[in-house]
Amino acid sequence: MNSVGTVTPQRAAFDTPILLQGGVSLPAFELVYETYGELNAERSNAVLVCHALSGSHHVAGIYADQPDNIGWWDNLVGPGKPLDTNRFFVVGVNNLGGCYGSTGPMSLNPVTGKRYGADFPVVTVEDWVAAQARLADRLGIASWAAVVGGSVGGMQALEWTLQYPERVRHALVIASTPKLTTQNIAFNEVARQAILTDPDFHGGHFYEHGVVPARGLRLARMLGHITYLSGNQMAEKFGRELRHGKLSYGYSTDFQVESYLRYQGDKFTTYFDANTYLITTKALDYFDPARSYGGDLQAALARAKASFFVASFTTDWRFAPERSRELVYALLHNGRDVCYAEVDCDAGHDSFLLDDAQYHADVAAYLDRIET
Amino acid sequence: MNSVGTVTPQRAAFDTPILLQGGVSLPAFELVYETYGELNAERSNAVLVCHALSGSHHVAGIYADQPDNIGWWDNLVGPGKPLDTNRFFVVGVNNLGGCYGSTGPMSLNPVTGKRYGADFPVVTVEDWVAAQARLADRLGIASWAAVVGGSVGGMQALEWTLQYPERVRHALVIASTPKLTTQNIAFNEVARQAILTDPDFHGGHFYEHGVVPARGLRLARMLGHITYLSGNQMAEKFGRELRHGKLSYGYSTDFQVESYLRYQGDKFTTYFDANTYLITTKALDYFDPARSYGGDLQAALARAKASFFVASFTTDWRFAPERSRELVYALLHNGRDVCYAEVDCDAGHDSFLLDDAQYHADVAAYLDRIET
């Protein structure tokens, strides 16, 4: 229903070096992206959708040869949907350092002729946005009608308003935060240590050994899943239900939730790259626009010119509503136009991916009023 | 100040088989324990202190040859302290399956002549309490004035009132829960999988290989520490402070909290047994006295005859105050005497180990009124 239908990923190659925040310069890079809808004659209806940790450029629709491979935000993006492709030209892009086709750890390093692996530099939210700006140039988009993202995607939407204040008219920052809490960093660190200490990681050069650090990546994903769901939702979904009707008095599977987490962890290792996981968690940890303003978020956001839609979810304990409110207050104190929705949804952090009626109505109402 | 001083662990050997909940019978076992204070002539002033996940029989005092090895609840137990050894005869015991001297995975299996390792059966809170009852028999303690414990120690205190209602007059159930939530089980499962999938685990028989599954045990402890602390306390303690003043753009150490977690994880692997960790998390997961009463906690607790002191801590998100309140309501509906303290302390689950003035005053007030 109302799908953008069959889509085809495209590829943009950039041969001007990009100097990354960490001081490393990449001589060239490629970005894989998808577009939905039509760019209007004024080139004023373009919307960038930024992905979260395990997302990709495949935001909506399906592939001709993979009819079950539905874009990760297909419930939000399409004709007649909240982000309406009848009105907007929507762009999804796999970030630099990703593992879905854009230049990243799995790409060939032109210097060595081997895959980058651990030699791929740590990239930041700022770097992602700088790379996305190159893509905007290539597509002839001087200014986005909106940049939209959830979780670390929301960080990118916020960063766009700071790095390119003239190039984004609206930012939709959903289930996000202006910086990670200590506890957020702590969880990321456990996930990283799981990967880094997996003997199959081989210092990040596991491709050459024909293995993947599946144990570590699996643990990282299992842990991640706990933080994406609310405690109540987990309890409702799995309770203390036993997988085989009785206790095993061993370490196979007792509770349904164990089975669920193992399944999610195992599945993840078949398609996601461990180096990209490491890079992305670092990008999350590092993001903190207030850092160079002595922690003063209001001062850090003073250069933003966009209007904002900020949404949080009541049961999101990963990026709690308090974090969104901090952002909202700092924006309001700068005189920005801000719509803030605190959505009562039981699904924790993952709520931003779900088809919650109130949430989608809020997004639709905001986007509908954008002039293109 | 007010220490019980130098203490000496003792050992009790039991050669009557103990049939465990899982169906396995241990032909013989030993428990290591310590005592503080004097058993009175009526044998009516004995208090059992039950330990939590990484605790031991060494509850208070120091060892002659290890003056820095202070008991884990030394701030609570001693002359003039809330659990006053001038009045009470206090017993600390290392649980069955433990790694501090009681029979457990590191012990020699009389059948094979090798260490039990993974062949040591999963034990439950019920099994621990049954073994502790043997020790009570040995010490000539027909009835405990009180059984006291925090976290999984609190589960043991509660279990005493159900398994031996005539043998415990007061139960102090602190920072505990009548059963784990789904999220609790999920965290335990990630910790277990970290250990079980460590190549050095060798199916639980790592002793024979001269190694320990340090990677997995380290991850388990790092993750555990996140759940023991409150988010606010982590933020206050470490914030986003950098270890070396600037971002590394690599995977060494950026934030202080990373350094803290790694240190805690590394330290743990030098003294704690991975098989005991697995067993203890299973005992936690399995504990659910209401299970055989169709989930009706009130019915499950009907056989308890003790009076109760229940305490929770406002910032404990591992075993939240809601869990303690469930217990309190079920006890009250059974007509039990219950004192309930919900203590405003910022330290999360670990609050029960701290010298919080209000908390200690509450414990002292309760214990002071116990007749011996």
| Number of inter-chain CB pairs under 8 A, A vs B | 146
Residue linked to tokens 């909106």: A146
A231 touches chain B (CB under 8 A): yes
Nearest residue in chain A measured CA to CA from B118? A250
B262 touches chain A (CB under 8 A): yes
Q: Report pLDDT for B241.
A: 96
Nearest residue in chain A measured CA to CA from B203? A251
Gyration radius (Cα) of chain B, Å: 20
Of B53, B22, B115, B20, nearest in space to B276 by CA = B53
Contacts of B97 in chain A (CB under 8 A): none
Inter-chain touch A193–B219, beta carbons under 8 Å: yes
Q: Report pLDDT for B35.
A: 98
Alpha carbon distance B341, B338 (integer Å): 10
The pTM (predicted TM-score) of the whole model is 0.97
**Whether residue A223 has pLDDT greater than 80:** yes
Structural contact between residues B209 and B218, judged by C-beta atoms closer than 8 angstroms: no
Mean pLDDT of A25-31: 96
Contacts of A250 in chain B (CB under 8 A): 122
Structural contact between residues B276 and B94, judged by C-beta atoms closer than 8 angstroms: no
Confidence of residue A331 (pLDDT cuts 50, 70, 90): very high
Contacts of B192 in chain A (CB under 8 A): 251
Q: Report, in this order, helix, strand and coil percent for chain B, each rounded to 5.
A: 40, 15, 45
Inter-chain touch A182–B237, beta carbons under 8 Å: yes
A326 touches chain B (CB under 8 A): no
The gap from C-alpha A37 to its chain's centroid, in whole angstroms, comes to 22
Of B117, B71, B69, nearest in space to B94 by CA = B71
Of B319, A125, B2, nearest in space to A133 by CA = A125
Residues of chain B with pLDDT under 70: 1
Residue A277, classed as helix, strand or coil, is helix
Inter-chain touch B251–A180, beta carbons under 8 Å: no
Query: Roughly what angle, to the nearest 10 degrees, separates helices B274-286 and B125-139?
Result: 100
Residue linked to tokens 């019978």: B25
Per DSSP, what are the bridge partners of residue B18?
B26
Nearest residue in chain B measured CA to CA from A179? B240
What is the per-residue pLDDT across A201-210, written as a single tens digit (0 to 9) for each? 999 999 999 9
Q: Report pLDDT for B347.
A: 96
Q: How many helices (H) and strands (E) does chain B have?
A: 10, 12
Q: Which residues of B are catalytic?
A: 151, 316, 349
Alpha carbon of A159: minimum distance to chain B alpha carbons (Å): 19
Dmax over CA atoms of chain A, in Å, equals 67
Query: Roughly what angle, to the nearest 10 degrees, separates helices B231-238 and B256-269?
Result: 110
Q: Report pLDDT for B1.
A: 62
Average pLDDT score, chain A: 97
DSSP of B68-97: T---TTTTTEETTSSEETTT-EEEEEPPTT
Confidence of residue A111 (pLDDT cuts 50, 70, 90): confident
Mean pLDDT of A145-165: 98
Structural contact between residues B293 and B179, judged by C-beta atoms closer than 8 angstroms: no
Contacts of A121 in chain B (CB under 8 A): 249
Q: Chain A, 131-160: which have a CB under 8 Å from a chain B CB?
A: none
Nearest residue in chain B measured CA to CA from A278? B251
Inter-chain touch B122–A231, beta carbons under 8 Å: no
Inter-chain touch B219–A235, beta carbons under 8 Å: no
B205 touches chain A (CB under 8 A): no
Residue B337, classed as helix, strand or coil, is coil
Structural contact between residues A308 and A170, judged by C-beta atoms closer than 8 angstroms: yes
Between A197, A225, A255, which is nearest B215 by CB? A197
CB count in 10 Å sphere of residue B27? 12
Of B107, B87, B84, nearest in space to B95 by CA = B107
Structural contact between residues A86 and A79, judged by C-beta atoms closer than 8 angstroms: yes
Alpha carbon of B368: minimum distance to chain A alpha carbons (Å): 38
Alpha carbon distance B89, A101 (integer Å): 68
DSSP state of B19: E
Alpha carbon distance B130, B128 (integer Å): 5
Residue A369 tokens, joined:
């009023």
Residue linked to tokens 């924006």: A331
Mean pLDDT of A113-119: 94
Per DSSP, what are the bridge partners of residue B29?
B14
Q: Report pLDDT for B111.
A: 87
What is the per-residue pLDDT across A33-87, written as a single tens digit (0 to 9) for each? 999 999 999 999 999 999 999 999 999 999 999 999 999 999 999 999 999 999 9
CB count in 10 Å sphere of residue B255? 24
Q: Which of B123, B205, B212, B240 to mutate to test the interface with A (most CBs of A within 10 A)?
A: B240
- The amino acid at B331: L
Alpha carbon distance A359, A345 (integer Å): 9
Q: Report pLDDT for A110.
A: 87
Structural contact between residues B228 and B221, judged by C-beta atoms closer than 8 angstroms: no
Residue B57, classed as helix, strand or coil, is coil
Of B165, B172, B269, nearest in space to B221 by CA = B269
What is the per-residue pLDDT across A242-301, written as a single tens digit (0 to 9) for each? 999 999 999 999 999 999 999 999 999 999 999 999 999 999 999 999 999 999 999 999
Nearest residue in chain B measured CA to CA from A320? B231
Compute φ and ψ for B319, nearest 5 degrees.
-120, 85
Confidence of residue A1 (pLDDT cuts 50, 70, 90): low
Compute φ and ψ for B94, nearest 5 degrees.
-80, 130
Residue A308, classed as helix, strand or coil, is strand
Q: How many helices (H) and strands (E) does chain A have?
A: 10, 12
Compute φ and ψ for B96, nearest 5 degrees.
-55, 135
Mean pLDDT of A220-243: 97
Residues 6+ apart with CB under 8 A from A311: A172, A173, A174, A175, A324, A340, A341, A342, A343, A352, A359, A362, A363
Give the ipTM.
0.96
Query: Roughly what angle, to the nearest 10 degrees, separates helices A214-228 and B182-196?
Result: 170
Percentage, residues of chain A above pLDDT 70: 100
Residue B189 tokens, joined:
């499962």
Task: Count CA atoms closer than 13 A to A238's CA, side-chain side.
Answer: 22
Q: Which of B246, B249, B260, B315 to mutate to test the interface with A (most CBs of A within 10 A)?
A: B249
